[in-house]
Structure 1
Amino acid sequence: MLNYFSLCNQFHPNLDFVCFSLLAAKYRPYGVYKDSRSILVIHNLAHQGVEPASTYPDLGLPPEWYGALEWVFPEWARRHALDKGEAVNFLKGAVVTADRIVTVSKGYSWEVTTAEGGQGLNELLSSRKSVLNGIHIHFSLSYSSTTSRKQLSRVIKVNSKYASTAGIVNGIDINDWNPATDKCIPCHYSVDDLSGKAKCKGALQKELGLPIRPDVPLIGFIGRLDYQKGIDLIQLIIPDLMREDVQFVSFDSFSLL
């Protein structure tokens, strides 16, 4: 009996991941890979690793596995009238074949199942989640190849016995980043004594050249200038917000992905 564990972050190593998962789905009924598992970690669903369908023969995968990666762009996303939108999607292949799907928070595990946050994969992610939770939701598969449809249906059926979708919160080391003991801040504070927090606020205002005012709200944003982080919402509110008696600090970077 072969035991194997595969952990995949985003779409980048997904070919190895898909190969393992499909082999496991194929041979588990015969006792092979029975105790092996694969876990997909989704950080940002916007990055899926989509390539033209013509690249599939170069991936070294059997033709009957095409359905796991098959992807069709909606009409509005196609380049011209003759573009059929046919592509292969590495992340979609991992979603189909994963034993367990994990996101970076409980909230994001819900968001990826919505039309707004699912980036085209929301129905597929919802189908995996609903089967695991015991709630039946009809999900129709429509792929061009009959063989691909059968193969994909088999993978989902077999892997659903083992799989789950969950959110695991990204966290910090509460010992290193404890404001009661942190050596990187001017003053310490805790839930029992918040006086030091006001002093930290004043120190930040001074360092940034802002008026040192304990009475004014100091609002901060730390994150990438990326749609996923809600920067569009900040852009909408900034003009009205800055008409109020507030201070706003943004520490951010551009997304390179």
Structure 2
Amino acid sequence: MKILYATSEAVPFCKTGGLADVAGSLPPALAAEGAEVAVVLPLYQKVREKFGDQLHFECYDFVDLAWRHSYCGLFSLERDGVTWYFLDNEQYFNRPDLYGYMDDGERFGFFSRAIVRMLGHLKFWPEVIHCNDWQTALVPIYLKDDGVREDRFRSIKTTLTIHNIEYQGRYGMETLGNLFGLNQGWANDGTIVMDGDVNLLKGAILCADAVNAVSPTYANELKMAYYAHRLENIIRQCDYKLYGVLNGIDMKLYDPSADQRITARYSAEDMSGKAEDKAALQRMLGLREEAGTPILAMVSRLVSHKGLDLICEVLHDIMELPVQLVILGKGDQRYEEFFYWAAQQYSGRMAVRLDYNEALSMAIYAGADLFLMPSKSEPCGLSQMIAMRYGTVPIVREAGGLKDTVHAYEAWRDAGNGFSFTNYASGDMLYVIREAVQLYKENPDAFDRLRKRAMAGDFSWARSAKEYLRIYANITGQTWPVPAPAAEEPAVTAFAEEKAEVAVPEEAPAEEKPKKKTVRRTAAKKAEKAEKPEKAEKKAGKAEKKTVKKATPKKESAKKDTEQKETPKKETKKKGPAKSKKEDQAE
């Protein structure tokens, strides 16, 4: 199966969020399952600076986007069993950041158009193009549009993954033809228009052959107005092609027993290294070095749907607990200002870093004891999986992928791998935080068992890759996994074939029956000898006649055998003429 994975970011080349982690891990996992996989993404300035010497120039062409006729270069790189393609246009992509520009619609409109028009320059013609979020949402639309004029595009199936439905790619109606180069018919039939705007994600949901959310719970939530941001009716309309596949993480990259990015290595069997990581984190952030005080941490973008309102409401209540609080991230100014102010109020007990730092985030995962994710909506979430991998127990709200991965602690049967609450309420969040801190302080043995259960979770991509391959097989009509070829049978001679036709069908089933009959006859003979010894000689004569009769077919019914035993005189009469006939023929 040939798969082209289209994404706007991917680890290790460029990253702003969880999409990059998925795009960097899923394609190699698909390749490991036997699929032929390539990934295409823009050639950003960051990629050129870091990997430019490893890129191989393939070719260049010109791509038409409405009235624009723009250069597009194609570069490639082989890594982890996957071919990584980079589309080059310095006007659009040679910029310091990946997103956040006024012309983002035009930039990713060009990217989507270039993906379709550059397919002929790739090393294979894909059977499936896997698109991600609004940045590649125009790909299924362009394939449908070009397929009207060129048959070759009709064979390609598309899958769209919704990582966060909040970002839909909405632009004014004037962009339909002037910017994206699409006919007015796409608006007239309502495919790409919603609330008077061009909505790229809506068009992709309707045009794609399969749509999947990044967790089973999130797939169900998207049918509700609260989570779907006005696309709930479109999701319900496409329910027949909607799937929910839980994301995974790179289990080798996030392995506390081998990770060189943290201060000390450790495992579920030997947790001594985690205490060293905790002390190192406290020194790094200027917290008091208190081994018996749990560290409650949060690594997140500081935006409203991450549940930051709940934390702001009860922050002072949280700080009344015997706990230290660490927050890493950046985002909305109001949250940045609030947490910066709060850190000044609780010096030595609270640390805030308004940035995203990969090294510091790993130090937090390894050194913290509790990990807080009170999200209002969370399509999947990777942070809770990473935290559990490093023995940092999660506290989450039951939303999206958080509900699918974190199971609430149950003291009465010592089960669960974290703490959770259902209602989006600060009081409920505060209650489970208190419960977690109390367990840590008062029952360390139970907390250690909880921590080990969290570390034992399987969040590998192998499981998710198999589910994606089943989706691809459904939309292409292929069988997956491909059945192994049957072993070749040895050559059969003409004589053997003739013998097989004549002898095998008759003798194969009959070989078993005579054995059973022989056993029954022997038992019958012994019984008859015991009851009537005077007939022994007659029976011996009959046995001799039966030996002669071996030339007749062995497939006789049990009924005839029974008749022969019970009425020997009648049998003799039948055999007599037959014997005379044979003797006449012999003469």
TM-score by length of 1: 0.69
Query: Residue in 1 aligned with 2:227?
Result: 117
Aligned residues: 205
The 1:170–1:225 alpha-carbon spacing in structure 2 relative to 1, beyond 3 Å, is farther
| Match of residue 229, structure 1, among 286, 302, 306 | 306
Output the CA distance in 2 between the equivalents of 1:111 and 1:213: 41
Output the CA distance in 1 between the equivalents of 2:237 and 2:310: 30
Output the CA distance in 1 between the equivalents of 2:211 and 2:234: 12
Output the CA distance in 1 between the equivalents of 2:225 and 2:310: 18
The 1:187–1:16 alpha-carbon spacing in structure 2 relative to 1, beyond 3 Å, is closer
Correspondence 1:190 to 2:273 = no
Greater RCO (CA < 8 Å, at least 6 residues apart): 1
| Match of residue 105, structure 1, among 204, 208, 215 | 215
Correspondence 1:63 to 2:141 = no
Does the aligned pair in 2 maintain the 1:216–1:246 contact within 8 Å?
A: yes
Does the aligned pair in 1 maintain the 2:216–2:243 contact within 8 Å?
A: no
| Match of residue 164, structure 1, among 229, 238, 242 | 242
Correspondence 1:93 to 2:203 = yes
Does the aligned pair in 2 maintain the 1:3–1:33 contact within 8 Å?
A: no
Question: Following TM superposition, by how much is the alpha carbon of 1:33 offset from its aligned partner in structure 2, in angstroms?
Answer: 5.7
| One-letter amino acid matched to 1:128 | C
Q: Secondary structure at the match of 2:300?
A: strand
Q: Secondary structure at the match of 1:236?
A: helix
Question: Following TM superposition, by how much is the alpha carbon of 1:245 offset from its aligned partner in structure 2, in angstroms?
Answer: 1.7
The 1:70–1:226 alpha-carbon spacing in structure 2 relative to 1, beyond 3 Å, is same
The 1:202–1:99 alpha-carbon spacing in structure 2 relative to 1, beyond 3 Å, is same
Output the CA distance in 1 between the equivalents of 2:184 and 2:254: 51
Query: Residue in 2 aligned with 1:155?
Result: none
Does the aligned pair in 2 maintain the 1:21–1:38 contact within 8 Å?
A: no
Query: Residue in 1 aligned with 2:237?
Result: 127
Output the CA distance in 1 between the equivalents of 2:163 and 2:331: 17
Does the aligned pair in 1 maintain the 2:264–2:273 contact within 8 Å?
A: yes
| One-letter amino acid matched to 2:228 | G
Question: Following TM superposition, by how much is the alpha carbon of 1:177 offset from its aligned partner in structure 2, in angstroms?
Answer: 1.8
Does the aligned pair in 2 maintain the 1:104–1:168 contact within 8 Å?
A: yes
Output the CA distance in 1 between the equivalents of 2:290 and 2:262: 19
The 1:127–1:169 alpha-carbon spacing in structure 2 relative to 1, beyond 3 Å, is same
Output the CA distance in 2 between the equivalents of 1:114 and 1:170: 25
Question: Following TM superposition, by how much is the alpha carbon of 1:40 offset from its aligned partner in structure 2, in angstroms?
Answer: 1.4
Question: Following TM superposition, by how much is the alpha carbon of 1:170 offset from its aligned partner in structure 2, in angstroms?
Answer: 4.3
| Match of residue 45, structure 1, among 160, 165, 174 | 165
Output the CA distance in 2 between the equivalents of 1:167 and 1:235: 33
Deviations 1:70-105 (Å, cap 9, x if unpaired)?
101xxxxxxxxxxxxx11111111111111223333
Output the CA distance in 2 between the equivalents of 1:98 and 1:69: 13
Q: Secondary structure at the match of 1:224?
A: coil
Question: Following TM superposition, by how much is the alpha carbon of 1:51 offset from its aligned partner in structure 2, in angstroms?
Answer: 1.4
Deviations 1:123-153 (Å, cap 9, x if unpaired)?
2113322xx2xxxxxxxxxxxxxxxxxxxxx
Q: Secondary structure at the match of 1:88?
A: strand
Does the aligned pair in 2 maintain the 1:21–1:98 contact within 8 Å?
A: no
Does the aligned pair in 1 maintain the 2:219–2:242 contact within 8 Å?
A: no
Does the aligned pair in 1 maintain the 2:298–2:327 contact within 8 Å?
A: yes
Which structure has the larger Rg over C-alpha atoms?
Answer: 2
Does the aligned pair in 1 maintain the 2:143–2:154 contact within 8 Å?
A: no
TM-score by length of 2: 0.32
Question: Following TM superposition, by how much is the alpha carbon of 1:189 offset from its aligned partner in structure 2, in angstroms?
Answer: 1.8
| Match of residue 205, structure 1, among 282, 287, 302 | 282
The 1:239–1:96 alpha-carbon spacing in structure 2 relative to 1, beyond 3 Å, is farther
Question: Following TM superposition, by how much is the alpha carbon of 1:190 offset from its aligned partner in structure 2, in angstroms?
Answer: 1.4
Deviates more, 1:207-216 or 1:8-17: 8-17
Question: Following TM superposition, by how much is the alpha carbon of 1:250 offset from its aligned partner in structure 2, in angstroms?
Answer: 0.7
